[in-house]
Structure 1
Amino acid sequence: MPHTPIADYAVIGDCRSAALVSASGSIDWLCLPRFDSPSVFGAILDADHGGRCLVRPIETATARRQYSGDSNVLETTFTTASGVLRVTDLMPVDSEAAKARELWPEHELLRRLECLDGHVEVQVVFDPRFDYGRVTPRIHRGPGGVFSCEHATGALTLFTDIRLASGEDGKGLVGSDRLAVGDRRYLSMTYAHDTPAVLAPLGPEADRRISRSIVWWREWTAACRYHGPHREAVVRSALVLKLLSYSPSGAIIAAPTTSLPERIGGVRNWDYRYCWLRDASLTVRALCDLGFDVEAEAFLSWLLHATHPTWPRVGVVYGVYGESRLAERELPYLSGYASSRPVRVGNLAAGQLQLDTYGELVEAAFVWVSRGGELDRASKSNLVGLGRAVCSRWGMPDDGIWERRGGRRQHTHAKVMCWTALDRLLSLHESGHLRVPVSEFTRERAALRAEIEGRGYNERLASYVSVLDGEEVDASLLVLALHGYADARGARMRSTCDRIREQLGVDSLLYRYREHDGLPPGEGAFGICGFWEVECRALQGEDATARRQFDTLLTHANDLGLFAEEIDPVTGAALGNFPQGLTHIGLINAALSLQERGRQ
């Protein structure tokens, strides 16, 4: 069976989990009750055994899709020879106050079918598979279109007004229906993990949940302060970040999927359903500068809470409740996306050492305070403790921002982020927000700069380099200007940008690096790296170049404005986990930088 291109998927969610919906009407990925829970639908990783929920016309159809305005409610319109069908997909959301006034399912996946013209014959397949496709549940039929199945992780209930029967070999449910113009049908799947099952009504009540969800998303986006060029792309990126947030804790995950490959048929397949500290300061900056202070504060609070139990060691990646042990394992019985194996769950990066995370945490707090935020006493103490840890640890080799599995090295980017941590803590001391050992932090900050300038810059290449005394560049060096370590208009930073473009660039895109990393070669261009370059060029005063590159980068989104982690420079295909929060963060921050340049 041909695989669905990654870019053909849309995402819906409820700020606790998310589902991927193909342009052909198949929900091929959904984990419940959390982003990082085992999948209920997983056909994206194995079409035969993963499970899906499919709604589509039986006739050949063309599909056009959009989100309902500034929301995460998806509308797909199918046009056939006999009629037009619109399918609305969402995971309903509302305020906590509204939920407290009525029965509300722990999770609901709601699909509404409407015939807009003529008549349309529709096909329905409901085939859940628990535990990453390992368990095919027995589905029990109840009265009035109610079906249910259970597994150790919870219970699914399907409520529908479409007649369904057992599928082949008793697996799943299948059915069909004929809709004439004006007809509506519904499928409501609810999930109960540790609460009583709630049956969500169909008909007008389902329509009301859809309307309320659209209003909820639009009221949230109304807080966005960005009114510059490409506002639609910026707002869509903000909606992706909100969808990737785990509302009970404030965590923001990297992506809602696992094991979508960086190279089709390759082994670079990782689980991204967790929270990476390397994204911290960029995320807080994006949220604050767009006007989403509640989310920024919640995320910063989660960051400081999650890292406290392991202090002075700061982890690389955490679960949504701050779990630091994310054991990685392979699922050999799954064929993988487009035969890309292995399929992995968990992530070994949780056991790596990345010194840049110290700088990311402190910078995130600095951004929050500089935008008017406050820190409590415990947070201040933790931040000073991070600075002391930097003083004692910055000379160590680490695994680096890109998490290469070839051994620890002296990464220039890591040293710069350690410098950033001490620099921001000294600034917070000077502004009276906390008290630090000034002489120690000042001494170590100067030692870091001497080390970086003496060994992290290669005179022959006229560029900062990936590792101390090295000969290779990598795209993370662009953030030296973004974090204020290096003057973007200075000779060293200008020549570094030029060398990165020369060695890593393909059109408007950038690879992360070219050197061997311990894995079979082959990955796409890295989405955020192109947006980092846009910011650097803007800071250098090259406004026309930066805007032209930004415009070109936007063309690599799918039809809904969604980006994957990587892009194939040859075909333009989306690669890696999807949608990728870090790419959208890069887009937001690049747009904000361009807007600021326009004001100057």
Structure 2
Amino acid sequence: MSTTPIADLALVSDRHSAGLIGRDGSAEWLCFPRFDGPSVFARLLDDEAGHWAIRPAVPYETTRRYLPQTMVLETTFRTGSGTVVLTDALLTGPDDGGHRLGVGVPHLLARRVSGVGGEVPMEIEYRPRPEYGLIYPILSVVDGGVTARGGAEWLVLTTPVALGIGDCTGYGVFTARAGETWLFGMHRSTLEETPARVWDQEELAARLDGTIVAWQSWSNLHQAYDGPWRDLVHHSGRVLQALSFQPSGAIVAAATTSLPEWTGGERNWDYRYTWVRDASLTIGALWVAACPDEASDFFAFLTTAAPSLGKDRALQIMFSVRGEHDLSERTLPHLRGWRASRPVRIGNGAWNQRQIDVYGELLDAAVRLERQIGDIDDDVRRFLVTCADTAAERWMEKDQGIWEIRGEPQHFVYSKLMCWVALDRGIALAGLLRAQNRVESWRRTRAEIRETLLREGWNNRVGAFTQAFGSDELDASALMVPIVGFLPASDPRVLSTIDAVADRLTNDQGLVYRYRTADGIDGLAGEEGTFLLCSFWLAQALAMSGQASRARQAFERAAAYTNDVGLLSEEIDPDNGELLGNFPQAFSHIGLINAAWAIDEAERTARGGGAAGAGRGNGEGRMA
């Protein structure tokens, strides 16, 4: 059973794969050759599932940081006899001036040990366990390294330190003295590819330095945001870049699977996939914290992977990073889970759920990128028109909602809201989509959805828009009412909803729950933590309503849960403040970026004497 605190982890990425490095210098998680590939190291989910540690062999204290403008990790170990620095990176391809980070990656985790003061005895433990810990490979010493043979992976460890082999594990010791440097690297290939190899020290050093330069070139070229919390926003933009799959433009929800939403509970899901649900929020965040290129790449991926409508024109809600549709879920019973949180799952059973909100999220993303997609081809044009038409036809249906409820379908308010968004944005894009002949029909249905939402979604007893028609349950997704422009943020019903969420859907620290999980209303047993995305939504909605001071307070409460290297998980344990859920969570960083931007806009409006809070629409239609 793994007990490593989630906050002790730091992300490394080559925009194909992701690894997590612990504060103790152990690679606790690494998947090759892509984010959703089988793990090589998975000690995060079971002590026996593989890791690679490089650390002092004597007591030490640790500080960490990412090198400026990069996702290259630097860990400093201070001991009684000296200081040593460990630098970790998944190697990117060569720097091309920051334009396409992650092209031509070698699939290699590089680790540099630098003695910076005194001398420090060091130890190495190399325990590869491919396929989520199922395979105990045969390790063999070769000149300059160690090979690992077994299963579909061919792994070669480059090591300047001789390792002894025992129990399918490599062990070694050395002394790090001031001014000396050692380069290690684990290179991966499959049996069909050019075999992985031992790298010489100069080549590894040059490629590691080149990876640092490549990240810095990308940051300098793409990151221009200059508002509040600038460093946090820029870093969150790099996290989104690190969670993106360069070959396709897909962005995964998180780098991990099965880190639980409640310690010991069953809410353990595989988040290494791309959700249509995230589209418009992600693209908005990329515009603020990265650049239009990344946003356009993500949209291009979605409009390539998504156009496969079934007989009922249902749009699948999620895909693999290469666009595969079948994400069938299964459990891995041999893994004990993080802090005994079982089951450990790979795949995600939500892939074939019905969620009617996705049409609105795709069309909202299209509106945000209207200038960039002016030359869309006829296939994409027809697909987007079909999305609007399908929203108009299906908005009255029940579904599983934004939170992928595994209970009975309901008439979720958020789902209806996003059907309204689909038609609103379809009307705005009618010229681009060559769909002027549909505008009158779309307007009629948009008005019908609006009337129904105001009648059935608003609950006078609760004083808020609620989770579902006829429900008294609060749901943080109601904060999207002003964010998508359905009603102005100054509308009394919006203000009342904001206050209801702030007063009745938060814990003592002011963090927001998605909804209350009591009585298994979502079809699952147990509880979950407070949800960071929803906490940032509260800050964003407060900013849009002109309450900048309250918005700042809400933002800073949520942002305080970044770990020491600026990463956010999905949720926070309300009892002890620990990070919970898959990590790092794209949604949390997206929420941070969008909330910071909204607060900046609100404060600029206030300084200029204008009225804040109109949102992206006027309550009747974004551009109609």
Same fold, TM-score > 0.5, yes or no? yes
Equivalent residue number for residue 568 of structure 1: 573
Equivalent residue number for residue 270 of structure 2: 271
Equivalent residue number for residue 531 of structure 2: 526
**Cα–Cα, structure 1 residues 532 and 491, in superposed 2: closer, same or farther, change >3 Å?**
same
Tell me by how many angstroms 1:317 deviates.
1.4
1:314-329 to 2 correspondence within 5 Å?
314-329=315-330
Tell me by how many angstroms 1:569 deviates.
2.4
Contact 2:147 2:155 in 1 (8 A): yes
SS of 2:293 mapped into structure 1: helix
Residues 1:201 and 2:203 are matched in the alignment: no
Find the aligned partners of 1:374 and 1:105 in 2 and give their Cα distance.
31
Equivalent residue number for residue 609 of structure 2: none
| Equivalent AA in structure 1 for residue 194 of structure 2 | P
Find the aligned partners of 2:535 and 2:349 in 1 and give their Cα distance.
27
| Equivalent AA in structure 1 for residue 417 of structure 2 | V
Match 2:185 to one of 173, 185, 188 = 188
Moved more, 330-339 or 145-154: 145-154
**Cα–Cα, structure 1 residues 561 and 436, in superposed 2: closer, same or farther, change >3 Å?**
farther
Find the aligned partners of 2:177 and 2:526 in 1 and give their Cα distance.
53
| Equivalent AA in structure 2 for residue 511 of structure 1 | Y
1:399-438 to 2 correspondence within 5 Å?
399-429=400-430, 435=436, 437-438=438-439
| Equivalent AA in structure 1 for residue 458 of structure 2 | Y
Contact 1:465 1:471 in 2 (8 A): yes
SS of 1:338 mapped into structure 2: coil
| Equivalent AA in structure 1 for residue 287 of structure 2 | C
Contact 2:135 2:151 in 1 (8 A): no
Find the aligned partners of 2:550 and 2:132 in 1 and give their Cα distance.
46
**Cα–Cα, structure 1 residues 269 and 291, in superposed 2: closer, same or farther, change >3 Å?**
closer
Equivalent residue number for residue 399 of structure 2: 398
**Cα–Cα, structure 1 residues 2 and 294, in superposed 2: closer, same or farther, change >3 Å?**
closer
The aligned length equals: 594
SS of 1:132 mapped into structure 2: coil
Match 1:512 to one of 511, 514, 526 = 514
Find the aligned partners of 2:16 and 2:355 in 1 and give their Cα distance.
28
Tell me by how many angstroms 1:440 deviates.
1.5
Residues 1:14 and 2:14 are matched in the alignment: yes
**Cα–Cα, structure 1 residues 2 and 345, in superposed 2: closer, same or farther, change >3 Å?**
closer
**Cα–Cα, structure 1 residues 136 and 567, in superposed 2: closer, same or farther, change >3 Å?**
same
Find the aligned partners of 1:198 and 1:155 in 2 and give their Cα distance.
6
Q: Which runs of 4+ in 1 moved over 6 A?
A: 96-100
Find the aligned partners of 1:152 and 1:439 in 2 and give their Cα distance.
59
Find the aligned partners of 2:229 and 2:503 in 1 and give their Cα distance.
28
Find the aligned partners of 1:564 and 1:198 in 2 and give their Cα distance.
33
Gaps of 5+ in 2: 606-624
SS of 2:474 mapped into structure 1: coil
Tell me by how many angstroms 1:436 deviates.
5.1
Contact 1:253 1:273 in 2 (8 A): yes
Residues 1:235 and 2:234 are matched in the alignment: yes
Find the aligned partners of 1:368 and 1:225 in 2 and give their Cα distance.
18
Contact 1:259 1:576 in 2 (8 A): yes
SS of 1:187 mapped into structure 2: strand
| Equivalent AA in structure 2 for residue 383 of structure 1 | L
Equivalent residue number for residue 453 of structure 1: 454
Find the aligned partners of 2:372 and 2:287 in 1 and give their Cα distance.
7
SS of 1:486 mapped into structure 2: coil
Equivalent residue number for residue 308 of structure 2: 309
1:43-442 to 2 correspondence within 5 Å?
43-47=43-47, 49-95=48-94, 106-143=106-143, 145-167=144-166, 170-193=167-190, 194-199=192-197, 201-222=199-220, 223-310=222-309, 312-369=313-370, 374-429=375-430, 435=436, 437-442=438-443
Equivalent residue number for residue 585 of structure 1: 590
Tell me by how many angstroms 1:105 deviates.
6.1
Find the aligned partners of 1:105 and 1:490 in 2 and give their Cα distance.
51
Tell me by how many angstroms 1:163 deviates.
1.1
SS of 1:533 mapped into structure 2: helix
Find the aligned partners of 2:149 and 2:251 in 1 and give their Cα distance.
29
SS of 1:314 mapped into structure 2: coil
Equivalent residue number for residue 488 of structure 1: 489
**Cα–Cα, structure 1 residues 355 and 111, in superposed 2: closer, same or farther, change >3 Å?**
same
Match 1:597 to one of 575, 599, 602 = 602
Tell me by how many angstroms 1:314 deviates.
0.9
SS of 1:133 mapped into structure 2: coil
Contact 2:138 2:150 in 1 (8 A): no
Tell me by how many angstroms 1:236 deviates.
1.0
Moved more, 548-557 or 424-433: 424-433
SS of 2:215 mapped into structure 1: helix
Contact 1:369 1:375 in 2 (8 A): no
Contact 2:384 2:433 in 1 (8 A): no
Contact 1:534 1:549 in 2 (8 A): yes
Tell me by how many angstroms 1:583 deviates.
0.4
Tell me by how many angstroms 1:209 deviates.
1.5
| Equivalent AA in structure 2 for residue 217 of structure 1 | W
Provide Cα deviations, 1:356-395, integer angstroms capped at 9, x if missing partner. Answer: 1111111111111167865333222111011111121111
Contact 2:2 2:337 in 1 (8 A): no
Contact 1:25 1:56 in 2 (8 A): yes
Contact 2:93 2:104 in 1 (8 A): no
Contact 2:157 2:186 in 1 (8 A): yes
Find the aligned partners of 2:394 and 2:417 in 1 and give their Cα distance.
13
Moved more, 245-254 or 171-180: 171-180
SS of 1:437 mapped into structure 2: helix
Equivalent residue number for residue 622 of structure 2: none
SS of 2:339 mapped into structure 1: helix
Find the aligned partners of 1:200 and 1:450 in 2 and give their Cα distance.
67
| Equivalent AA in structure 1 for residue 180 of structure 2 | D
**Cα–Cα, structure 1 residues 319 and 381, in superposed 2: closer, same or farther, change >3 Å?**
same
Tell me by how many angstroms 1:404 deviates.
1.3
Tell me by how many angstroms 1:431 deviates.
7.2
Tell me by how many angstroms 1:198 deviates.
4.5
Gaps of 5+ in 1: none
TM-score calculated relative to the size of structure 2: 0.92
Provide Cα deviations, 1:450-490, integer angstroms capped at 9, x if missing partner. Answer: 11111111112121111111111100110111000121110
Equivalent residue number for residue 550 of structure 1: 555
| Equivalent AA in structure 1 for residue 70 of structure 2 | S
Find the aligned partners of 1:104 and 1:541 in 2 and give their Cα distance.
47
SS of 2:257 mapped into structure 1: coil
Tell me by how many angstroms 1:432 deviates.
7.6
Equivalent residue number for residue 33 of structure 2: 33
Find the aligned partners of 1:166 and 1:433 in 2 and give their Cα distance.
66
Find the aligned partners of 2:207 and 2:225 in 1 and give their Cα distance.
29
Tell me by how many angstroms 1:11 deviates.
0.5
SS of 2:306 mapped into structure 1: helix
